Amino acid sequence: MGKRWLTLMLSLCILAIAAYAQDCTTPIDGQRITQDTLFCAGTHNLASGIIIGADVVLDCGGSSLQGTGSTTGISVVGDNTQVRNCDIRNYATGLRVDNVNGFIESGLSFSGNGQDRSIAQGEDITLPTTPAPTQPAPVQPAAQPDNQQGAPTPPPVLPPSSPAQSAPVLPGNAEITPPNTGTERSDPSIWLVADLKSEALLENALSFEYESGTVPESVLAERVAQLQQTLSEMTIEREFVYRNGQTQVRIMIKPKDGFFRRVVFENVTLYEYIPKCFAKLVDDIVFEGQRPVVLEKDPLLKKVIKKSEPLSVTYRAPVVIDKRCQELFRVIGIGQGVKVHTFSSVLAEKGIIQVVQVFPWESATVAGFFIVVGIAGVAFKRFVDNIKK
């Protein structure tokens, strides 16, 4: 009897587990979730993401929500909601919580998004936190009395801290070794690209400049056209420099000049997304020079560079990052008042004097070429005259 009872109980448990496992939902692109929902395991391609209403618990069951570099993965618009166990990938914004009360997040992971989270004003917002590691206080040596000559006691010598304590490596410390104190290593790369993520980042950045949070279609189209023109006339390079347990990031704008060709911008507006593996909030970043406009402390920044200012932005944080973190940085630039000066256009407008002023190096090169040709001609003529004599 006991064995039969045990067998019956095990069978019921297995049936219950199977029923629960089958009671999952495959999400639909753009779906609005209005009741407690468990997503089926796997990867779900949701270009438009999903929307979460009020009084809902969404459990993704460890599944991945895959976007196309635009829109928002999960938009929470209702109070008293929970979102858990979701892997959110390749959206302009992974998770957006818009002015709701009573939101709980747990077990979420993000990768390849323009920004992972956008949290508007609300109450009782619970996000996972990572407590800072505690370090034991340095041992102070016992104070020694002054010597008989009255010389002051030397200050105590504190034990040195390791690079791992002063410069945590995020997010994967197996790929890079923190440099020793005093050493320097740079890693340049070009980051201005024309893709969906660039336009998605632009739309997301512009949304913070409008009270409604929605960018008018005409404005977005105009800015996207400016972005595409800027892409054809300049490059933006980012350089990572590791020094003394810190990562310094330098963004350099380089117009695509050429021989007798100059690209001039009245100003360049940079929109910069800095991933959380570099800094959790913009307050954790130290900027050289004037601080950019903070669109969101997530952090998302805006920097306007005038024609007379250096075409670069530099900032740093006390971390040493790896390649995976570098790839999450995003920056786009929009140049206003773009003008391309060529030899013919400047000559037609101002004359030869203006050509020399606009193209001093090229003008000097051409002048030097004619001088060399003239000297060579004079020397050849004298050589011919000597032969005739």
- State how far the Cα of 33 lies from the Cα of 296, in Å rounded to an integer: 27
Question: Does residue 15 sit within a domain?
Answer: no
> Which residue segment(s) compose the domain that 367 sits in?
342-378
Q: In what helix (H) or strand (E) does residue 88 lie, and over which residues does it extend? A: strand 87-89
Place of tokens 């330098």: 250
Tally of structural domains, the chain: 3
- State how far the Cα of 316 lies from the Cα of 246, in Å rounded to an integer: 7
186 & 329 share domain: yes
215 & 300 share domain: yes
254 & 360 share domain: no
Q: Please answer whether residues 101 and 78 qualify as being in contact, where contact means their C-beta atoms are separated by less than 8 angstroms.
A: no
Question: Does residue 140 sit within a domain?
Answer: no
pLDDT per residue as tens, the chain (389 positions): 555 555 545 554 444 444 444 478 899 988 989 889 999 888 999 988 999 988 899 999 889 999 988 889 999 988 889 999 999 999 988 998 877 888 888 889 998 888 888 876 666 677 664 433 334 444 444 444 444 444 444 433 333 333 333 333 333 333 333 333 334 444 444 434 445 567 777 888 888 888 777 888 888 888 888 888 887 888 878 888 887 778 888 888 888 888 888 888 888 888 888 888 888 888 889 998 888 888 888 788 888 888 778 888 899 998 888 777 887 888 888 888 878 888 888 878 877 777 777 788 777 888 888 899 989 988 888 888 888 76
- State how far the Cα of 313 lies from the Cα of 34, in Å rounded to an integer: 45
Question: Does residue 384 sit within a domain?
Answer: no
78 & 197 share domain: no
205 & 324 share domain: yes
Q: In what helix (H) or strand (E) does residue 83 lie, and over which residues does it extend? A: strand 81-84
Instruction: Give the pairing of strands 43-45 and 64-66.
Output: parallel
- State how far the Cα of 17 lies from the Cα of 14, in Å rounded to an integer: 5
184 & 333 share domain: yes
User: If you ran DSSP here, which 8-state letter would residue 175 be given?
Assistant: S
